[in-house]
DNA sequence: CGAATCATTGAGGAATTTCAAGTGGTGTGG
DNA sequence: CCACACCACTTGAAATTCCTCAATGATTCG
């Protein structure tokens, strides 16, 4: 568990064109975006680190992001994957509690947290949305809890595939942006177990694997059954 | 995993004296309490069920509460334990996402959610506290994630003991309100593994077990080392 | 093509679970 | 006050799942 081939994360990414515009009925998924700047992040580059001050809120424009915590000896637990349209990095406190990294080359909208929070002071709707966003994050993590605490490898992988399929609009085929190690560290397994379980599911005709990164859900009922 | 000796949960508990008083600078840990009614819940009695409408917010006055999710076949994952002073059951959405049960005979303050939320509409401070409360819950669950996904039995039990010791003021001795099954379902283990691990820690002189429910932390440094 | 990265597969081992039995404390009723 | 039943907990032995170690494929990219 100590070796990890993934590139060392170095800070990077340069602002493009910051905009100061402020809408009237600000929403996090809407006009708030005008307050941010679009920034490119290369694959495996860190967006923010655990325990760093939470100065910004982020929104994935393209690409994908993972957030994780590390144990002293390098064991890693991924908390969530963020896909285009997802907001991440919003903290109620002062510091980030996870590290965030681009999984693939990504474009990420970067918004000053203070701008959002101060706008929320006068905008009841926005303020409510901030709470909702934290609550959504909570809901997701609570689902993961049950998975990590009580599900076996098959159930975990099935849940993962169904989750990804739900989050990407594209019908029954999913192009996974993350490698096996990421999936393993999300599901609390090893890459070998993830790989073996995927082939098991393929043998059972529940899925097809045209390439290692592309998964076709062939029998959702079977996967849902595994999902508990 | 299908057998569970715990008593069947039946609804129960009768309101005592509802109060309508409202403070000026309302806080969740302060004057909001005036808006609630103190209610007794017997051991193993359900406070609310998963997916029920979240009409109330709760605060433990005395006793202890567990919240959990079940899988179809009865596997259970406990999300949190609540001790005197803790608030639980606050949802940003309309429904509870866990079931809550009294672990021991408990007194619980029951507050109408609508009262809190409507007061929060005009009270910026309270509104912020609601967000903070959800964020605290998130923080706790995120810590559990790392535990369930990546820690071994010794590390899990050590983390649990340290957490409980931190949450009860009483120095190095902790009186556990919950049974081994609860601990197991919190840590994603079996009762046997929890029991064996506790005796291992006792043999290693990290803890003492005067009774099965009382734990004395004898070597916090050792436990912290295990905690990663 | 060769190197590097990522993924799959196999064999053996380790940690945890499962199954089973036994211990200890507590409360009830004779 | 003892006997019995009931729980919660502990302990042991066997089984199982998942992990570790190791080798082999596959894909990409200079």
* DSSP-derived secondary structure for A88-104: E---SSSB-SSEEEESS
State percent of chain A over pLDDT 90: 82
Per-residue pLDDT averaged across A96-100, rounded? 98
Q: Are A97 and B135 an interchain contact pair (Cβ–Cβ within 8 Å)?
A: no
- Chain B residue with minimal CA distance to A98? B142
Q: Give me the CA B175–C1' C24 separation in Å, rounded.
A: 19
- Cβ–Cβ gap A71/B137 under 8 Å: no
Let me know: does B84 contact B62? Beta carbons within 8 Å. yes
Confidence of residue B26 (pLDDT cuts 50, 70, 90): low
Q: What is the pLDDT of residues B131-159, one digit of tens each?
A: 999 999 999 999 999 999 999 999 999 99
Pairing of the two strands A56-62 and B173-175: unpaired
DSSP letters spanning B195-214: HHHHHHHHHTTSEEEEETTE
**Contact residues on chain A for B124, CB-CB shorter than 8 A:** 121
Provide, as residue numbers in chain A, all residues whose Cβ is less than 8 Å from the Cβ of B94.
none
Q: Work out the number of other CB atoms within 10 angstroms of the CB of residue B205.
A: 10
**Torsion sign, CA atoms B28, B33, B34, B35:** positive
**Chain A residues in contact with chain B using a Cβ-Cβ cutoff of 8 Å:** 69, 71-73, 75-77, 79, 91-93, 97-98, 121, 124, 127, 130-132, 134-135, 137-139, 141-142, 144-146, 148-151, 185, 187-188, 228
Helices (H), B5-123: 113-122
Q: CB atoms < 10 A from the CB of A36, how many?
A: 22
Taking an 8 Å cut-off on Cβ atoms, the answer to whether A149 and B77 are in contact is yes
- pLDDT band of A31, cuts 50, 70, 90: low
Question: Token digits for B106?
Answer: 């408990």
Please tell me the predicted confidence (pLDDT) of residue A26: 63
User: Which pLDDT band, with edges at 50, 70 and 90, does B12 fall under?
Assistant: very low
Closest by CA to A195, choosing from A166, A175, A169, A215, is A215
Closest CA to B164 of B190, B182, B146: B182
Q: How far apart are CA A77 and CA A68, in angstroms?
A: 5
The Cα A72–Cα B101 span in angstroms is: 35
- Measured CA A195 to C1' D29 distance, in angstroms: 25
- Is it the case that residue A47 has pLDDT exceeding 60? yes
Distance from C-alpha of A76 to C-alpha of A57, rounded to nearest angstrom: 23
Measured CA to CA, the distance from residue B158 to residue B192 in angstroms comes to 16
- Tell which wins on pLDDT, A21 or A168: A168
In this predicted structure, the answer to whether residue B114 has a pLDDT above a threshold of 80 is: yes
Question: pLDDT for B36-65, tens place per residue?
Answer: 999 999 999 999 999 999 999 999 999 999
For chain B, the average pLDDT equals 89
C-alpha B223/C-alpha B228 separation (Å) is: 9
Q: What is the mean pLDDT of chain A?
A: 90
**Three-class SS of residue B10?**
coil
| Both tokens assigned to A210 | 């045209």
Q: How many other CB atoms are there within 10 angstroms of residue A88's CB atom? A: 23
* Helix or strand (DSSP H, E) at A77: strand A76-82
Region B61-79 average pLDDT: 97
| Local confidence band at B76 (pLDDT 50, 70, 90 cut-offs) | very high
Percent of chain A predicted with pLDDT > 70? 87
Which among A145, A151, A194, A224 is the top mutation candidate for probing chain B, defined by the most B β-carbons within 10 Å of its own β-carbon? A145
Q: Give the mutation candidate from A97, A129, A149, A151 for the B interface (greatest B CB count, under 10 A).
A: A149
Model confidence, pTM: 0.91
For residues B206-212, average pLDDT = 97
Question: Tokens at residue B178, please?
Answer: 């919950």
Whether the per-residue pLDDT at A6 is higher than 70: the answer is: no
Q: CA nearest B68 in A: which residue?
A: A146
Cβ contact (<8 Å) for B131 and A92? yes
């Amino acid at each position: 568990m100590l070796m990890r081939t993934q590139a060392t994360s170095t800070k990077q990414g340069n602002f493009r064109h910051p905009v100061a515009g402020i809408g009237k009925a600000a929403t996090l998924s809407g006009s708030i975006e005008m307050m941010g700047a679009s920034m490119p992040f290369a694959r495996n580059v860190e967006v923010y680190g655990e325990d760093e001050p939470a100065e910004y809120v982020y929104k994935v424009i393209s690409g994908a992001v993972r957030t994780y915590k590390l144990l002293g000896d390098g064991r890693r637990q991924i908390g969530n994957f963020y896909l285009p349209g997802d907001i991440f990095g919003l903290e109620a406190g002062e510091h980030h509690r996870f590290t965030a990294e681009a999984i693939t080359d990504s474009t990420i909208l970067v918004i000053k947290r203070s701008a959002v929070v101060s706008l929320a002071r006068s905008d009841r709707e926005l303020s409510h949305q901030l709470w909702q966003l934290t609550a959504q994050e909570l809901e997701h993590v609570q689902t993961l809890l049950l998975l990590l605490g009580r599900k076996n490898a098959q159930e975990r992988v099935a849940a993962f595939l169904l989750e990804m399929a739900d989050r990407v609009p594209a019908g029954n085929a999913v192009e996974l942006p993350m490698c096996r190690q990421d999936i393993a560290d999300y599901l609390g397994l090893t890459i070998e177990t993830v790989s073996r379980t995927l082939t098991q599911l393929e043998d059972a005709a529940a899925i097809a694997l045209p390439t290692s990164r592309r998964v076709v859900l062939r029998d959702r009922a079977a996967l849902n059954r595994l999902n508990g």
